[in-house]
Structure formats: C-alpha cells, structure tokens
Amino acid sequence: MVGEQRKPSGFRWLLVAAALLLQFSIGAVYAWSVFGGSLENAEAWNLSKVKASMPFTVTIGMIFIGSYLGGRLQDRHGPRIVALGGGIIYAVGIVLASFTNGAEDYWLVIVGYGVISGFGLGFAYIVPIAMLQKWFPDKTGLITGLAVGGFGFGAVLTSPVAQWLIDRDPEDPTSAFLPLGIAYLVMSLIGASFFRNPPEGYTVPGFEPAHDGGGSEVGKDYTQGEALRTPQWYLLTAILTLSVSAGISLISQAKLTATDVAGFSLTGAATLVGVLAVFNGGGRILWAAVSDKIGRMRTFAAMLVLQGVCLIVLPHASNVVLFFVLAAVIYLCYGGAFGTMPATAGDFFGVRYAGAIYGLMLIGWSLGGIIGPVVASALIGEDKAYTLAYTVIGIIALASVALTFITRVPAGREPASVGSTEPGGGR
C-alpha cells in the first residue's frame, strides 16, 4: 500500500456535518414555489405560471454545467477550493436577484437566481458527494444519502422564513433574496472550509473491500472517458432524468397545487412546502440505506412505481391529509434518487473519478429539472388542469421502471465473489 496507513477518526463525521451545512444552504432552491406563487400574485410582477416557474427551471438547468466543471476540478485540485468557490457564486446570484423592482427586472431574476446561482449550486453540490465516498468506503449507500440529505432539507427552514420575509413586503417578494443570500454565503463558507480528501493510504479498520478470485480488489476505477463508452452510464443517466422529472413536476408547483387541489391557505401551503422538504431530505438517507439491503435497481424501480401511482392519484386528493401523504411519498422518492444514484455510480464505475463521472451524470438532474416543470406548468395552464398534468407525468414514471430491469453492472465491476442481489446485477 502506497503511503502511510491511517485509521479513520471522528474527523470524517465532522466532514459529514460540514457537508450537510453546505448542502443545506444550496438546497434552499427547493423553496422556490414560495417565491413563484408570490411573483404570480404581486401586482408589480403578475407573472404567468410558466414565467413564475422559469427561474427555478433555469437554476436546475445550470446545475449540470456547474457539477461537470466542479467534478473535474475537485478530482484535480481537491474539494475545499471548489466548494468554497461554488458557495460564493451561488450566494452572489441570489443577492443579485434581490436588486429588482418589478416585472421589468424579470431578466435579472433569470440571470441572478437562475444562471449564476444555478451554476454555483452545481459547482458546490458534487464536491461532498465525491469526497465522502472516499472517506466512507464501508458505508457507500448510507453516506451518499447523508451527503445529499442536507440539500433536501434546505427548504425546511427556508420556506417559512422566505414566506415571513415576503409577507413583510408582499409587493416586493424578491427583496427577501438579500438576507437569504447573505445567510447562504456564511453557511457555505463555514461548511466548505473543513473539506479535504483522505490521506494517502487511508483505510477503515474492520472493512475489507470485495475481492475477485485472485485476491485483487474488485474491478477497476473507470475514467470519465471509459464510463462514457459504456451503455450503463447512459442508462443510469436516463433513470435519474426520468425520476427527477416525475418528482420535480410537483415540487415546482407544490404551493399552488396544495391551494387549488386540497384547499390549503397560502400560509398553510408555504408551511407544507417546508414540511415536505423533510421528506425530500429524509428520502435521500432512507432510500440510500434501503438500496444497500435490497439492491440499487430494485430501489429505483420501487421509487418510480410509488411516484407514478401517487402523481396519478394526487389531483383527486381534496382531503388535506390524503394530499399530504401522497405529496410526502413523492418527495421521499424524489430525494431517494439523489441519495441512491451516487452509490450506484460508484458500484458501476468506482470512486476514484467519482467527481467527474457523477458530475457529468447530473445532466439528468438538469434535463429532468427542465422537462418536469415545463411539462407540468404547460399542461396545468390557466385552466388548472392538474389531473391531465399529473396523470401524464405519472404514466411516464411507471413506464420508466422498465429501464431498471435492463441496467446491469459492467462485467469488470462484478466478480463472482461479490455476487448480486438482483437480476440487473446492481447492488
């Protein structure tokens, strides 16, 4: 073994806490529906449903560009500098969006909140995922769930705080971006300052990586170029894209769907968005841990089925309790895709170049983040056709389950001694 072997310590768990702090700040993006609804209702803005959701759509669309570059840079230069840069860019974009006074400044919301903060979000997001997989080879599913769990929880606090800030001046909802952007900057800088890769020769006592029959460690670590030459990379990206499209179609319209379908008040709907964010965050941890037990592809199949069924039933849930349960399951499964996919990519391609490989795979997040909100807002329209919109998206989610049955771990990563817990070969 090259270099001095060092035992893991409490420091790796401190890194988990630091990663959660960073992800909590950038995960506030999922509170957008609070702002979107306010931009529709404020007299100075009076945006259509499509225009009100567009800043969020642009943000998600930019994540791929940031994560691709951030993943490559952190593989070369380490996690700290990349995470610090991403947090700063993200916060600057949010602050810029606060300098608006009405619909004539709509372009600045798109540029600041959408383009700039979306790029910074992706730039920072990929870093703790790749870093913590190297620190926790013994807990890949659980730790990647935790690594992105904070992102899902970001809207828990942001939603009610944002609504409170907006209520102070409902005709100028974007003024809330200034204090929020400053808070995000502080949180990002504190969290990212702790980031670092494990030392050379780092091992975990009691953990033995799987080996093939000759005693060599399982499989090779694919480079980004090698991963892109396999069909598995494209299949996994397609699964991520379709899963994101399903869940984010509701997330982008959560506040107004709750008021129009189940009769929530505006304040109640804003609170609901925050509560549902708990399930988004919790799903990343829960489903990632489940995937360690039942296999990655079985887990994705279960999540897609649950999302599809719940989306189809949701428009008919006039009872607030039923609506909450269905929405919570959708959020749980949406978050679960992000908690499970990093470990899945690690199983398929190794973790040495995880930043670059998974960073590029996050194009599925951007594509899904564009497809889901655009289809949902277009189908719902001014007629509030929630049944049509969510039924179409739910059927697509159910059809996507077929991909989980044909996606197999590359032969070079699946020696007989590792075995397989499912027909698709994924763990």
CA angle 274, 93, 33 (to 5 degrees): 25
Reading phi first (left if > 0) and then psi (alpha if -120 to 50, else beta), residue 201 is in left
pLDDT in tens, 217-260: 456 788 889 999 999 999 999 999 999 999 999 988 888 899 99
Name the DSSP class of 219: S
Residue with tokens 């991909």: 403
Q: Is residue 204 part of a domain?
A: no
- Helix segments in 199-319, DSSP class H: 224-228, 231-251, 254-262, 266-294, 296-313
Note the pLDDT of residue 303.
Answer: 97
Confidence of residue 4 (pLDDT cuts 50, 70, 90): very low
Domain assignment of residue 110, yes or no? yes
Q: Is residue 420 part of a domain?
A: no
In angstroms, the Cα distances linking 16 to 128, 136, 147 are 8, 10, 7
139-152 pLDDT per residue, tens: 777 787 887 778 87
Is pLDDT larger for residue 76 or for residue 85?
Answer: 85
Separation of alpha carbons 304 and 419, rounded Å: 25
pLDDT in tens, 205-215: 766 665 443 33
More confident residue, 216 or 126: 126
217 SS3 class: strand
Eight-state DSSP code of residue 102: S
Report CA-CA distances (Å) from 229 to 71, 111, 345, 395, 426: 19, 35, 14, 31, 19
CA distance 377 to 234: 27
Is 195 domain-assigned? yes
pTM of the predicted model as reported, rounded to 2 decimal places:
0.76
- Considering the domain boundaries, does residue 184 fall inside one? yes
Contact 5, 202 (CB under 8 A): yes
Q: Which neighbouring-strand residues pair with 6?
A: 202
Residue 10 has pLDDT above 90, yes or no: no
The reported pLDDT for the residue numbered 6 is 46
379: in domain = yes
pLDDT band per the 50, 70, 90 thresholds, residue 406: very high
Q: How far, rounded to the nearest angstrom, does the alpha carbon of residue 297 sit from its chain's CA centroid?
A: 18
pLDDT tens digit sequence for 157-170: 788 889 899 988 88
Q: What is the per-residue pLDDT across 27-70, written as a single tens digit (0 to 9) for each?
A: 888 788 789 888 988 888 988 878 888 898 899 889 889 988 88
Q: What are the Cα distances from residue 218, in Å, to 261, 292, 347?
A: 51, 17, 10
Predicted local confidence at residue 36, as pLDDT: 86
In a domain, 4, yes or no: no
Instruction: Count how many Cα atoms sit within 13 Å of the Cα of residue 159 in the half-sphere of its side chain.
Output: 28
In a domain, 159, yes or no: yes
SS3 state at 224: helix
Q: Count of domains in the chain?
A: 1
- DSSP secondary structure letter of residue 211: B
Q: What is the CATH number of the domain that holds 281?
A: 1.20.1250.20
- Please report the pLDDT score of residue 2 as a whole number: 37
Rounded CA-CA distance 248/365 in Å is 10
Residue 196 has pLDDT above 80, yes or no: yes
Q: Which residues form the domain of 402? A: 11-199+221-413
